[in-house]
Amino acid sequence: MIDSTISSFPLIGLVLLLGLAIGSFLNVVIHRIPRGESVVRPGSRCPACGHRVRPGDNIPVIGYLRLRGRCRDCGAAISRRYPLVEMLTGIIFVAIAIKSGLTIDAALEAIFASAMIALIFTDAREQLLPDVITCPLLLFTLLAAAWRGGWGEPVAYPFDLSLVFATESETGFPAMRAAIVGGLLIAAAVPSFWLIDRLDIFLFNKYHDWQTETDSTRQLTAEEETAIASYEHQDRRMKRLAMAIAIVSSLLWVTLALRLGNHDPLAWKGAWSGLTGAVTGALVGALPLWWLRTGYYLVRGVEGLGLGDVKLMAGIGAFLGWQGALCILLISSIAGSLVGLWMMRTSTARLATAIPFGCFLGSAALAMLLKQIIWLAA
């Protein structure tokens, strides 16, 4: 399984540098997305004094070491999270390159891993898994699965929906069915987020708001109101963009599957299998969490698990397959319960809903993605 196409040190060094740079961008995402701020402009600023970070101080990891962890202008401590995220991303990128070589598959895995890192740290800091990340993530994982199934290294799906939908012979490509059902599945990725939000209102008569959740009796400050408004604005804009990309991808899938499906039926059958396998994985990952959350709410009257966890698990299941999704659910529940028990013993506070479960899901997904490398190193 281990691809040895990347074995030279200069190449590994370049991948490491790319990972550090992407990690630096992920820091911006982790800091700004929950505040509804743009990740593009303005440039990096010190959160304490607002001074621009000088280009030399903005170099991943090295900038932090040069400044000895303090802002050059006001001396405020810079969070250790910054070099940590950068190094983590760099190491994971190198691990992916060693596992998959310098291939399109590796690029897809790197995008998936970047989303996991951003979500793990956002959830740890803010108890929030923004739709701005999880919604495009689901669309991305569906398209990536179709690509990998047809032309890359497919995730093994010995039991997937294409067995239900396909009746043609082993090598035949069910072009018409695959084109129509596949197009609908791709187009449904973004509306499924809308649907799962609406279901909450339908079932519980309320939607859990992310910031008012902690203390609904407290009056929000003007600053918080602005932050929520721009967060929601950003959310709507991202969903519109994702929907536009989904419609274009869906039409592209339908056209290409119908026109080219019979030129290379094996590859297209693989792509179709990859896409339906991803949908199976998304459902296997998300449905148990959604049932758990709904059941908990109906019994206890409080939210034990966020909708963000359900949405994240859909993306994870779509990328890693239904077997991967089951493993991740198992690992995360065990790890989450252990940490929860430990927190109950060490803190006097009652066990609130304060365990950021998304951290466990994201970390388990990264471990599953890199399991060959982890076994190799162990």
Q: Which residues lie near Zn ion (CB under 5 A)?
A: 46, 48-49, 71, 73-74, 76
Eight-state DSSP code of residue 356: -
Q: Which is nearer to Zn ion, 46 or 282 (CB)?
A: 46
Q: Which is nearer to Zn ion, 73 or 200 (CB)?
A: 73
Q: How far is the CB of 69 from Zn ion (least distance, A)?
A: 12
Contact assessment for residue 47 and residue 81, using Cβ atoms and an 8 Å cutoff: no
Q: Which is nearer to Zn ion, 72 or 208 (CB)?
A: 72
Question: Of the candidates 372, 374, 376, which has an alpha carbon nearest to the alpha carbon of residue 1?
Answer: 372
Q: Which is nearer to Zn ion, 44 or 372 (CB)?
A: 44
Q: How far is the CB of 35 from Zn ion (least distance, A)?
A: 17
Q: How far is the CB of 230 from Zn ion (least distance, A)?
A: 23
Q: Which is nearer to Zn ion, 69 or 340 (CB)?
A: 69
Eight-state DSSP code of residue 34: G
Q: How far is the CB of 52 from Zn ion (least distance, A)?
A: 10
Q: How far is the CB of 68 from Zn ion (least distance, A)?
A: 14
Q: Where are the alpha helices (DSSP H) in the chain?
A: 9-32, 62-66, 81-100, 104-126, 131-151, 162-165, 175-204, 222-260, 265-300, 307-346, 357-369, 371-377
Q: How far is the CB of 7 from Zn ion (least distance, A)?
A: 43
Q: How far is the CB of 78 from Zn ion (least distance, A)?
A: 9
Query: Residue 123, CB half-sphere, CA atoms under 13 Å: how many?
Result: 27
| Angle, helices 222-260/265-300, rounded to nearest 10 degrees | 150
Task: For residues 103 and 152, give the distance between their C-alpha atoms in angstroms, rounded to a whole number.
Answer: 9
Q: How far is the CB of 42 from Zn ion (least distance, A)?
A: 15
Q: Phi and psi for 57 in degrees, rounded to 5?
A: -85, -10
Contact assessment for residue 324 and residue 278, using Cβ atoms and an 8 Å cutoff: no
Q: Which is nearer to Zn ion, 71 or 320 (CB)?
A: 71
Q: How far is CA 16 from CA 97, 102, 114, 238, 347, in A?
A: 10, 13, 14, 29, 39
Looking at residue 304, its amino acid is G
| Angle, helices 175-204/131-151, rounded to nearest 10 degrees | 160
Q: Which is nearer to Zn ion, 54 or 240 (CB)?
A: 54
Q: How far is the CB of 27 from Zn ion (least distance, A)?
A: 16
Q: Burial code of 57-87, b = ≥16 C-beta within 10 A, e = fewer?
A: beebbebbeebeeebbeeeeebbeebbebbb
Looking at residue 175, its amino acid is A
Q: What residues does 70 pair with on adjacent strands?
A: 77
Contact assessment for residue 94 and residue 19, using Cβ atoms and an 8 Å cutoff: yes
Q: Which is nearer to Zn ion, 77 or 338 (CB)?
A: 77
Q: Which is nearer to Zn ion, 74 or 376 (CB)?
A: 74
